[in-house]
Structure 1
Amino acid sequence: MSDQAETFDYIVIGAGTAGCLLANRLSRDPRVRVLLLEAGKRDNYPWIHIPVGYLYCIGNPRTDWLYNTEAETGLNGRSLRYPRGKALGGCSSINGMIYMRGQARDYDGWAKETGDPGWAWDNVLPAFKAHEDHYRLDGGEDPASRRNLRFSDLHGHGGEWRVEKQRLRWDVLDSFAEAAEQAGVPRTDDFNTGDNEGVGYFDVNQRSGWRWNASKAFLRPARKRPNLAVWTEAHVQRLTLEEDADGGLRCTGARVRVAGRGEVGVAVRREVVLSAGAIGSPQILQLSGIGPADVLKANGIAPRADLPGVGRNLQDHLQIRTIFKVEGTRTLNKLAATLTGRAMFGLEYALRRSGPMSMAPSQLGAFTRSDPSRPHANLQYHVQPLSLDAFGEPLHTFPAITASVCNLNPTSRGMVEIRSASPADAPKIAPNYLSTDEDRLVAAQSLRHVRKIMSRPAMAKYRPVEWKPGAQYQTEEELARLAGDIASTIFHPVGTTKMGRADDPMAVVDSRLRVRGVRGLRVADAGVMPRITSGNTNSPTLMIAEKAAGFILEDA
């Protein structure tokens, strides 16, 4: 490291969901200097903040890394677009805004797998509540109780992470919820109690009809602190590693390519925290010589720490997008088809911050079991009053709804791997979807479950007709193959730098998120999840960052 390198106490790499929270928490101490590095630009692009703007952010080089998967055997040779946020706020600037924690059993499983009870549900719940600002507590304690608990026993108020009720409803979605009830799915008004089985409208991370991303929540109030530096358009090339006096390896900083400055070095006195996400963090580790030795050598990189788990254990939620044509009801397909309709959307949003422009990508949710023998909900629905071939494509010209369903607990495992020693080259992403008999079975069962709901009396008035995959396909083999034809990612990659016990050869970090064999380096993002959570992954990533900040400050 050059003597000219600027020195900080902490360097956080990635100003996404986790990085923004970490920068806030670490810079609370005015005695330390914190540097937050973000490869993307500021989050001042207007479509980031208008909820429906995800349509213009995904697939846009201004806000998306524009990754693609490898051709997937389980998807019948298809490659998928793989959006990852590229701006302050990271994926929280382009995602679906759904507030979802997962199930208590997820975290109890992490505690068992890592041997650390600190990751059990009862011990992560305070970390969720620490930054939560739930609308139902705006007026004080909600009188409604659940499981004999006060609402405030499960939720927080006054934190930075705003949770609000959606600002619109649709008759056809209300009917779908009623049909789900008729099919045996109970109603719920809160998916975040530790058991998310039920059907209801999602709560969202919005404030007064605007997207509430991690940059607004955590970074904006912290940027006035003189001890926090935020560099945008700062692409980390590699970490710098040096040997300690005892022969151990230590992370001493990073080499960073900064717009307008070229490549510079930054040095760290205490710790570097990688929060570049389940794709970016393993890529940076591998570029730095930390990862599977055979992969590093194949790309001309000398191994500094042979950690075979770096980039392995990739898990994601694959959503099967079923589409049903309907009659006699409003859907966005028709309403958005005319210039007048779109103008009315804009006027309603301008006047009230409501209507279709305030929509999250999915409004109604349901969690249920693919078959009654399952001990817990293993399917999640995202139901939308619209249909299209894929995000970024035009809406269909006929009235329709989409009932996307995903396997919450996939057994397929994939990988992330560098293609070369150049940081400019996108990594190879191979989720390995539908590669196990278990996942193919659940895919077929989930399609049958959608049909079960759509055939209930509450939906009969809309005369639904299955357009995708098509009612003519009935066998388990046909349905599994058709799932491969129509499924797409729901953008939840996790697990590529997983935490685990000391005797787990694939564990990249310990239960305090320290990289094995490298001092002064942690990972704090969705990559550390040993197993994917049963739902959307953004808020669990914030919880991980909250826990990581506690570990760092305790160890300091």
Structure 2
Amino acid sequence: MRRLSFLISSLLFSSLSISSHAKLLTDPKQIGKDYDFVVVGAGTAGNVIANRLTENPKWKVLVVEAGISNDGLELISTPYFAPTASPNKPWTWNYTTTPQVALGNRTLNYERGKLLGGSSSINYMIYTRGSSEYWDSIAKYSGDSGWSWKTIYPYFKKLETFTPPADHHDTSKQFEPSVHGFNGPLGVSLPGYPNEISGRIINTTNADPTTFPFNLDGNSGNQLGISWLQASINDTVRSSSATAYLAPKYISRPNLDVLIEQQVTKILFSKAGRTSPHATGIQFSAGPSSPSFTVSPSKEVILSGGTVGSTQLLLLSGIGPSSELSSLKIPVVLSNPQVGQNLVDHPALANHFFANSGNTLDDLKRNATDLELAEEQYNNTGTGVLVDTVSPAIAFLRLPSNDSVFRQFPDTASGPNSPHYEFVWRDGWASFLPITAPTTGNYTTITQVVVAPASRGTITLNSSSPWDSPLIDPAFLTNEYDIILSRFAIKSARAFMNATSWAGFNLGLAPDAAVAQTDDEIDDFVRSNTVPIYHPIGTNRIQGVGKGETGVVDSKLLVKGVTGLRVVDASVFPFIVAGHPEATIYALAERTSDVIKQTWA
């Protein structure tokens, strides 16, 4: 591995090698004309769909991806560098939000992956399935028992291979093997490098098991408590949907074509001889000055462009609020005011504490020589600090059931055994804000995430051009309930770090947080420091069965009101998972692949 600075600069002028993906196509003239399915987006869900559908040798599948190959991007493949894989890289969409009114009108980076693997190639690799109550709530809402925990759970086991951590230490007390899979495409693992804060985290659960209980495996369906972090890592490298589901043995299938660096600009519809508009194909191009091409599958167009991409494409293609479409002179194919509504994301915030230590990751960031030595160790032995992502552990916690907030607001958690907020730790300074880290001192960070927010936002078009980014408004903290949850999480983080396990190590709040003591000061701190954690869902949500419930897709993820079109990505979730959505999207796509197979059996 080369030095980080050289990595970044070299990638800026390289069109990127695709050597290990020999079947990747970059010229639209290379594709065929007889596809059964066209998948839009080679991201977290799209690659699952392509992989599973091409298990049937009689079906031919084309995947069209706007971004580049993931090959050769060491900044992406090395777990430690996950926080530096975005923003503002050649392989990200580099979106920004609209000014967030509840965050002092700040405009925020809103990163999505623009490469093979999509956001699974740039995320922090944190692998969480959600609680059993979460999945059961989707089943109840949709009226489809196929989304229940009982039905989804086998798909989680099917998709993963739980792999030993990089240092091959004894993991018998760190996870429950019986709830995991050992033969799937995706590598999932535990921390593989000793960390000075790991023992303190676990010891805190022993000292205060009521407030901070230990949970052997938070991916068992019982999510509450503090567990060792599970991450989508295969031994020492990132495991993404590209490396897992487009591995050489899969992408070499003669019935699978993957076309990259081509953006889908429109879904094509026809109503000839039909009662409803039918998705006949897609239009795509390499850029606004490049020629356009079309392709027409015989069975379905499947959108897997992610919450932002799929929503924008539906709107550009004439499916959405008729008033919005008409104002942009986009012909209305189907009026559905729900497209682009109900956007939900997790607000995050970093809590910083002074650490009485000389071994935090702060020095690794400041000292180029130390980083070079860590890279050399990683390359030569597959060991060392670079084998792990951001945290050794993860916590999912709740407000007390008798908290006064529930006299004002309904409980947004999926159930009484599901969390309201999350903690992940960093042995050093970590921040999502565009600020410079301190040049001296050592720190511990607890990043808190409100995982059951009440605020709802929107995605709308900025123009009728597919080359213009849409308007993304997560509406963070616009519901007062989310402020209250954030305030409680801050106090909880401080209580955790003041436990006896941290005596002599935690030297108190860092200056940025020390100014926030009263509730009003803490609320101001929340509004000034909250950022996205890039978990958008819900803009094309499943239709509910209750009276007055509306949606964009049915429980089989087919777009309502048209035929031949399905959406398979995070945008269809009616509720946000209390955790990181990667694993849930894999399971969603795995089950939907079977639904598609049954549809066309």
Q: Assess same fold via TM > 0.5.
A: yes
Secondary structure of 2:375's counterpart equals helix
Secondary structure class of the residue paired with 2:363 = helix
Equivalent of 1:124 in 148, 152, 167 = 152
Equivalent residue for 2:572? 528
Which residue identity does 1:353 align to in structure 2?
G
Partner SS state of residue 376, structure 2: helix
Q: Give the direction of change, closer, same or farther, for the CA distance of 1:94–1:504 in structure 2 (3 Å limit).
A: farther
Contact 2:174–2:228 (8 Å) recurs in 1: no
Letter in 2 for 1:54: A
* Residues 28-43 of structure 1: pairs in structure 2 closer than 5 A: 28-43=55-70
Aligned residue among 13, 22, 44 for 2:40: 13
Q: Report the CA distance between 1:279 and its aligned residue.
A: 0.7
Q: 1:144, 1:151 within 8 Å by CA — same for their partners in 2?
A: no
Residues 524/55 of structure 1: CA separation in 2 closer, same or farther (3 Å cut)? same
In the other structure, the counterpart of 2:523 is: 480
Secondary structure of the structure 2 residue equivalent to 1:470: helix
Distance in 1, Cα, partners of 2:151 & 2:487: 36
Number of aligned residue pairs: give it.
547
Corresponding letter in the other structure for 2:425: V
Residue number among 195, 200, 208 corresponding to 1:175 in the alignment: 200
Shift of 1:188: 2.4
Match of 1:323 among 352, 358, 367: 352
The answer as to 2:434 corresponding to 1:371 is no
| 3-state SS, counterpart of residue 400 of structure 2 | coil
Match of 2:593 in 1: 549
Residue 311 (structure 2) aligns with: 282
Between the aligned partners of 2:234 and 2:434, the Cα distance in structure 1 is: 25
Q: Is 1:338 matched up with 2:367?
A: yes
Amino acid at match of 1:451: R
| Worse overlay, 352-361 or 263-272 | 352-361
CA distance in 2, matches of 1:106, 1:351: 43
Structure 2 counterpart of 1:429, from 472, 491, 503 = 472
Query: Deviations for 1:382-429, whole angstroms, at most 9, x for unmatched residues?
Result: 111121443776543220011011111111111111101100001111
Deviation at 1:246, TM superposition (A): 3.4
Gaps of 5+ in 2: 1-30, 404-415
1:201 alignment partner, one of 228, 233, 240: 228
Match of 1:85 in 2: 113
Report 1:388-403 matches (<5 A): 388-390=430-432, 394-397=436-439, 398-403=441-446
Cα drift, residue 261 of structure 1 = 6.6
* Rounded Cα–Cα distance in structure 2 between residues aligned with 1:317 and 1:181: 29
The residue that corresponds to 2:407 in the other structure is none
Within 2, Cα distance between the matches of 1:413 and 1:156?
35
> Contact between 2:513 and 2:525, CA under 8 Å: does it hold in 1?
no
Give the alignment partner of residue 342 of structure 2, picking from 289, 296, 313. Answer: 313
Gaps of 5+ in 1: none
Q: Deviations over 1:135-175 (max 9, x none)?
A: 379x9xx98899xxx843x2211110111122113212421
> How high is the sequence identity, in percent, across the aligned residues?
30
Tell me the distance in 2 between the aligned counterparts of 1:115 and 1:478: 44
Distance 2:496 2:268 in 1: 55
1:1-400 equivalences under 5 Å are: 6-44=33-71, 45-135=73-163, 151-152=177-178, 154-183=179-208, 184-220=211-247, 221-258=249-286, 262-371=291-400, 373=402, 375-376=416-417, 377-390=419-432, 394-397=436-439, 398-400=441-443
Residue 518 (structure 1) aligns with: 562
> Does the 8 Å contact 2:544/2:550 carry over to 1?
no
Deviations 1:335-389 (A, max 9, x none): 3322331122112211232323222123321111233547333211011112144
Amino acid at match of 1:171: E
- Corresponding position: 1:506 with 2:550: yes
Shift of 1:234: 1.1
Q: Secondary structure at the match of 1:513?
A: coil
* Maintained 8 Å contact 1:59/1:392: no
Over the aligned positions, Cα root-mean-square deviation in angstroms equals 2.4
Structure 2: distance between partners of 1:136 and 1:111: 34
Give, as a single letter, the amino acid of the residue that structure 2 aligns with 1:227: N
Kept in 2: contact 1:498–1:507 (CA 8 A): yes
The amino acid that maps onto 2:466 is P
2:206 and 2:108 mapped to 1: Cα distance? 33
In 2: Cα distance, 1:50 partner to 1:518 partner: 43
* 1:308-356 Cα distance to aligned partner (Å, 9 max, x none): 1111111111111111111135211123322331122112211232323
Contact 2:198 2:393 in 1 (8 A): yes
State the TM-score, normalizing by the size of structure 1.
0.93
Deviations 1:150-205 (A, max 9, x none): 843x2211110111122113212421332354342112231101112122321111
CA displacement, residues 70-104 of structure 1 (integer Å, 9 cap, x when unaligned): 11112121111111011000011101111110111
How far the C-alpha of 1:21 sits from its partner, in A, is 0.6
Secondary structure of 1:451's match?
Answer: helix
TM-score, normalised via structure 2 length: 0.87
The residue type paired with residue 215 of structure 1 is A
For 1:420-459, what aligned pairs fall within 5 Å after superposition?
A: 420-459=463-502
Shift of 1:435: 1.0
262-271 or 43-52: bigger deviation: 43-52
Distance 1:188 1:17 in 2: 27
For 1:472 and 1:501, the matched residues in 2 are separated by 45
CA spacing shift, 1:143–1:419, aligned 2, 3 Å: closer
Corresponding position: 1:413 with 2:465: no
SS across alignment from 2:197: helix
SS in 1 for 2:45: helix
Counterpart CA distance in 1 for 2:53 and 2:87 is 33
Describe the SS at the equivalent of 2:578.
Answer: coil
Which residue pairs with 2:533 in the alignment?
Answer: 490
Shift in alpha-carbon separation, 1:284–1:488, aligned structure 2, 3 A: same
The answer to whether the Cα contact below 8 Å between 1:40 and 1:233 also exists between their aligned partners in 2 is yes
- 8 Å contact 2:83–2:124 — kept in the other structure? no
One-letter identity of the residue aligned with 1:71: P
Q: Give the AA of the match of 1:318.
A: P
Deviations 1:199-256 (A, max 9, x none): 2321111112011111111112321111111000010010001104133111001001
The code of the aligned residue for 2:381 comes to: R
The SS at the match of 1:509 is coil
CA contact (8 A) 1:100 1:537 kept: yes
Distance 1:340 1:58 in 2: 23
Determine the C-alpha separation between the residues in 2 that align with 1:468 and 1:231. Answer: 50
1:75 partner amino acid: L
CA distance in 2, matches of 1:26, 1:267: 17
Q: Distance in 2 between matches of 1:332 and 1:159?
A: 33
How far, CA to CA, are the matches of 1:517 and 1:292 in structure 2?
Answer: 13
